[in-house]
């Protein structure tokens, strides 16, 4: 992927939008996640819009509208990028209860299953690969206490990642992406 003004704008926008946010249960700045997802995405597709959307993929989900809104993203990057980002965005929930978590995750799985655009599916794959990688990394220092950082049990988290994988397999993502996802999921399942 060649560096461009559009990529530079996405890097800057993502960094500013996620300023002050941290990875769940960690002191790691959140911005490391969109950067990692964009780099992972680049393994499977060489497309500037996909790379830009990967950098912005959590903005609509995790950044207050007063900081950076859907209309801001449309103004700055256009409807194409907004559409890709919306394809990766989980539905809203009002309260982070276990029941709401399950409803939100099932809604996300159903949403992915309805997508015909491969770009948000590839970003979702890269997003989950990075999330699972971070859980494994953090497990090395925190042990099973890592699971207390989530709104769901270890079994539910595994269910979610397995369910996303099934959708991605049906959507016929690049073989390398499915293999990478499967390998990291198998490693995650070994954690107790």
61 noted as active-site residue:
yes
- Return the structure tokens found at 174: 């690049």
Instruction: Name the 3-class secondary structure at 65.
Output: coil
- Per-residue confidence in pLDDT tens, the chain, 192 aa: 789 999 999 999 999 999 999 998 889 999 999 999 999 999 999 999 999 999 999 999 999 999 999 999 999 999 999 999 999 998 876 666 667 888 899 999 999 999 999 999 999 999 999 999 999 999 999 899 989 888 889 999 999 999 999 999 999 899 999 999 999 999 999 998
Given the residues 47, 49, 62, 90, select the one marked as catalytic: 62
Given the residues 61, 92, 176, 179, select the one marked as catalytic: 61
Annotate 65-78 with b (16+ C-beta within 10 A) or e (fewer). Answer: eeebeeebbeebbe
65 noted as active-site residue:
no
Q: Is 121 left (phi over 0), alpha (psi -120 to 50) or beta?
A: alpha
Compute, in degrees rounded to 10, the torsion defined by CA atoms 101, 89, 123, 139. Answer: -30
Q: Where are the beta strands (DSSP E) in 8-115?
A: none
């Amino acid at each position: 992927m060649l560096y461009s003004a559009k990529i530079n704008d996405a890097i800057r926008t993502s960094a500013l939008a996620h300023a002050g946010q941290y990875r769940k249960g960690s002191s790691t700045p959140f911005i490391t996640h969109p950067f990692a997802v964009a780099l992972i995405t680049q393994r499977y597709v060489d497309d500037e819009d996909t790379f830009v959307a990967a950098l912005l993929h959590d903005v609509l989900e995790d950044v207050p509208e007063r900081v950076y809104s859907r209309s801001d993203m449309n103004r700055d990057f256009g409807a194409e990028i907004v559409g890709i980002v919306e394809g990766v965005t989980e539905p809203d929930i009002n309260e982070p209860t276990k029941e709401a978590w399950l409803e939100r995750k099932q809604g996300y799985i159903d949403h992915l299953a309805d997508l015909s655009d491969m770009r948000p599916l590839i970003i979702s794959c890269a997003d989950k690969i990075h999330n699972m990688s971070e859980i494994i990394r953090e497990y090395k220092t925190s042990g099973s206490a890592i699971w207390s950082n989530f709104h769901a049990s270890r079994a539910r988290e595994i269910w979610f990642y397995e369910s996303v994988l099934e959708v991605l397999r049906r959507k016929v993502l690049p073989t390398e992406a499915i293999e990478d996802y499967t390998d990291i999921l198998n490693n995650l399942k070994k954690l107790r």
